[in-house]
Amino acid sequence: GAGVSQSPRYKVTKRGQDVALRCDPISGHVSLYWYRQALGQGPEFLTYFNYEAQQDKSGLPNDRFSAERPEGSISTLTIQRTEQRDSAMYRCASSEVGTDTQYFGPGTRLTVL
């Protein structure tokens, strides 16, 4: 079946602009996660959804970052007033439930100029 999909795959934006990154999880997966991965590092946890409920947002770096999953399926990670330090690969993952294996999407490469 189809895996996790993310769009756009690449996003170049100017400092100060807002960006919205989309994640479409594997069908039927109730748990969804956002990670950020710097080059040469492992993914870093940002936030976790169980259905539509955001149950953990402790990894979001600051209040410019927010995420939603209004219908318990597709999720959007929004970064407001982007800064150069926000440049990274943003990855989404999903699992059947929280305790199951997480499957990762291809990521969105964000570059802030």
CB of residue 15 vs other proteins: minimum separation in angstroms?
26
CB of residue 22 vs other proteins: minimum separation in angstroms?
16
Half-sphere exposure of 14 (CA within 13 A, CB side): 0
Binding of other proteins at residue 96 (CB under 8 A)?
A: no
* Distance from C-alpha of 93 to C-alpha of 108, rounded to nearest angstrom: 12
Binding of other proteins at residue 102 (CB under 8 A)?
A: yes
Alpha carbon of 58 to those of 4, 20, 67, 81: distances in Å?
A: 23, 19, 12, 20
Q: Which residues bind other proteins (CB under 8 A)?
A: 4, 31, 33, 40-45, 48, 50, 55-56, 91, 95, 98-99, 101-107
